[in-house]
Structure 1
Amino acid sequence: MLLKKLIGAITIAAALTIPAIAQEKDLLAAVKERGELVVGTELQFPPFDFIENGKQVGFNSDLFAEIGKELGVKVRFIDLPWSNVLPGLEAGKFDMVAGPNTLTKARLEKYYFNLPISGGAISIMKLAKNTDFKSPDDIEGKTFGAQRETVSAAKIREFGEGKNITVRDYSDNNQAYADMVAGRLDGVVAQSTNLYYAAKLREGMFEILKPAIGPMAWFSYLGRKDENSRALMEAIDAAILKTIQDGRMDDLQRKWFTVTMELPHTLPDPDM
């Protein structure tokens, strides 16, 4: 019995050190050696990542399939609530993060951001039948939903400062959309890419207010900002750039966003 307990303790200790060991060697070499790129994400973020008929679908799934081909590896996604994704990356639970993530100055200091895969401004969406709310100027006293720990949540709080607004945090945008339909929210705040997709699925139900409340924002994948991760992240950049140049990126944008957008070939300086 003592021997079994000792073996069990050794096994648990070894398992707990796996993430640290993985980070001690060149990550690109490790990924190619195991034949698998492990990606952290949240599967409640359409049109980027979501579940349909029991299967993961979305822009990320399709683009990472192309990235996997370029690297010569399979891609495995780990689904977590968004608030756990970046801590999971820092703990070495996966190689990089899909998300995607809004490029900001603060995040850029902490993480390696890949080339942008989409862009859009932070906007407010309301029910089309809500005729007393016609523009962002009508924000006074209203209640909004936004995904927890996102730039959108921070931006609506900043925009509504001094205007007696209420902001409710949600684990994902779908929950906020449902509460707006149920009359518990006046609007939902998110990047326009996500809002246009939601409006497209429920044609005539939602309206996106103009102008946007935030500057142009870029969405990117990201990884750890250390020397062991650099080769992998640069290889991801090269794969993304290749899909931009050969037209595969345009095809995926048409499929999931209904429009194409010109993407920078180098990482832009963030505006926020």
Structure 2
Amino acid sequence: MLFRRLIGAISIAAALAMPALAQDKDLLATVKERGELVVGTEMQFPPFDFIENGKQTGFNADVFAEIGKHLGVKVKFIDLPWTNVLPGLEAGKFDMVAGPNTLTAARLEKYYFNLPISGGAISIMKLAKNTDFTSAEDIESRSFGAQRETVSAAKIREVGEGRNVTVRDYGDNNQAYADLVAGRLDGVVAQSTNLYHAAKLRDGMFEVLEPAIGPMAWFSYLGRKDENSLSLMKAVDEAILGMSRDGRMAEFQRKWFGMTLDLPETLPDPSI
């Protein structure tokens, strides 16, 4: 275990130490000249990005394969803990971020958000056998897990203020799911898309509670908000819009989420 942790730490350090990608000219031209779009992500975030049989899989892999075709380039993913992804983007370690990222007013001021590729509401998932916990409104004196530095973690702290709620931060949702199964948590808080996927994989073990504790939110890919990045981000928007209009996006949603969601063709105002 120590060896695996050491290798993981070395891999993260190496990724963050990579020379910054060129940002002194039009980024779309740079990507096409390089023949490769470099994308930062976290591969512990099913159903969007995860490793299966040693290979990256999930919604993002399918969507970015189509984005790569639209741009005429290969796509290279860099896998990092979520807490390192946005700093890596700002440092120029990759061209854009997969994620996906919840569209918020605060983030929109700092980053370029692509057109939404999915959406959901911040929700709570609990063990189905826990019959004492039947409503998302019944959070008094309970403990919850959420992924560190996410909108979900901030929301459960907000709604739990003054209600004796304990919130534990995790590196990824899978760690929180494990503690929920082990009885160390009453619930896990995340976007409903992720929670319904987890519940589907473990048929009958989990239950997503109603009502949601947060409003409907849109999920997007994002990039740097500078003049050099604008051409690339608009080209990615064109690819996403094309997939939405011809049914490919709905196909990927059905495959990975078990449902489809009508997507806006312009960037909506953030609800959070």
Normalised to the residue count of structure 1, the TM-score between the two structures is 0.93
SS in 2 for 1:259: coil
Asked if the contact 2:18–2:93 (Cα under 8 Å) also holds between the matched residues in 1, the reply is no
Query: Which whole-Å deviations, capped at 9, do the CAs of 1:197-246 have from their partners, x for residues lacking one?
Result: 00000010000000000000100000000000000000000000000011
> Is 1:239 matched up with 2:239?
yes
Gaps of 5+ in 2: 1-16
Aligned equivalents of 1:147 and 1:17: distance in 2? 26
SS in 2 for 1:23: coil
Aligned equivalents of 2:125 and 2:215: distance in 1? 16
Query: Which whole-Å deviations, capped at 9, do the CAs of 1:8-29 have from their partners, x for residues lacking one?
Result: xxxxxxxx89426x11111000
Give the structure 2 partner of residue 249 of structure 1: 249
SS in 2 for 1:174: helix
Asked if the contact 2:146–2:189 (Cα under 8 Å) also holds between the matched residues in 1, the reply is yes
Deviates more, 1:216-225 or 1:133-142: 133-142
CA-based RMSD:
1.0
Query: Which whole-Å deviations, capped at 9, do the CAs of 1:121-172 have from their partners, x for residues lacking one?
Result: 0000000000111102210110000000000000000011110000000000
Query: Which whole-Å deviations, capped at 9, do the CAs of 1:163-207 have from their partners, x for residues lacking one?
Result: 000000000000000000000000000000000000000010000
> Is 1:58 matched up with 2:74?
no
Aligned equivalents of 2:64 and 2:267: distance in 1? 19
SS in 1 for 2:229: helix
More helix by share: 1
Aligned equivalents of 1:157 and 1:180: distance in 2? 18
SS in 1 for 2:228: helix
Code of the residue aligned with 1:130 in structure 2: it is: N
Within a 5 Å distance, the mapping from 1:135-174 to structure 2 comes to 135-174=135-174
Give the percent of matched residue pairs that are identical in Structure 1 and Structure 2: 81
Give the structure 2 partner of residue 10 of structure 1: none
Normalised to the residue count of structure 2, the TM-score between the two structures is 0.93
Give the structure 2 partner of residue 13 of structure 1: none
SS in 2 for 1:24: coil
Give the structure 1 partner of residue 27 of structure 2: 27
Code of the residue aligned with 1:133 in structure 2: it is: F
Give the structure 2 partner of residue 229 of structure 1: 229
SS in 2 for 1:240: helix
SS in 2 for 1:94: coil
Aligned equivalents of 1:269 and 1:250: distance in 2? 22
Code of the residue aligned with 1:28 in structure 2: it is: L
Aligned equivalents of 1:208 and 1:79: distance in 2? 28
Aligned equivalents of 1:136 and 1:60: distance in 2? 29
Query: Which whole-Å deviations, capped at 9, do the CAs of 1:77-132 have from their partners, x for residues lacking one?
Result: 00000000000000000000000000000000000000000011000000000011
Give the structure 1 partner of residue 192 of structure 2: 192
Within a 5 Å distance, the mapping from 1:1-272 to structure 2 comes to 18-19=19-20, 22-272=22-272
Give the structure 1 partner of residue 9 of structure 2: none
Code of the residue aligned with 1:234 in structure 2: it is: K
